[in-house]
Amino acid sequence: MLQNAMPDPVRTRLIDYARLLRIDRPIGSLLLLWPTWWSLWLA
């Protein structure tokens, strides 16, 4: 039932954007966030 909530072109476009943002491999954002969170915690 939830699979029919979005039309196919919208679903494929969202999947393409997720691949472009590398949501499945967030190592870049984690490498940026950990030092930021650490410095905010120390401040």
The burial of 21, by beta-carbon neighbours within 10 Å (0-12 exposed, 13-18 middle, 19 or more buried), is given as exposed
pLDDT of residue 36: 93
User: Alpha-carbon distance 27 to 25, whole Å?
Assistant: 6
Taking the whole predicted model, whether its pTM rises above 0.75 is answered as no
pLDDT in tens, 1-43: 556 777 788 889 999 998 888 888 878 888 889 999 999 999 8
pLDDT of residue 3: 64
Instruction: Please give the single-letter amino acid code of residue 12.
Output: T
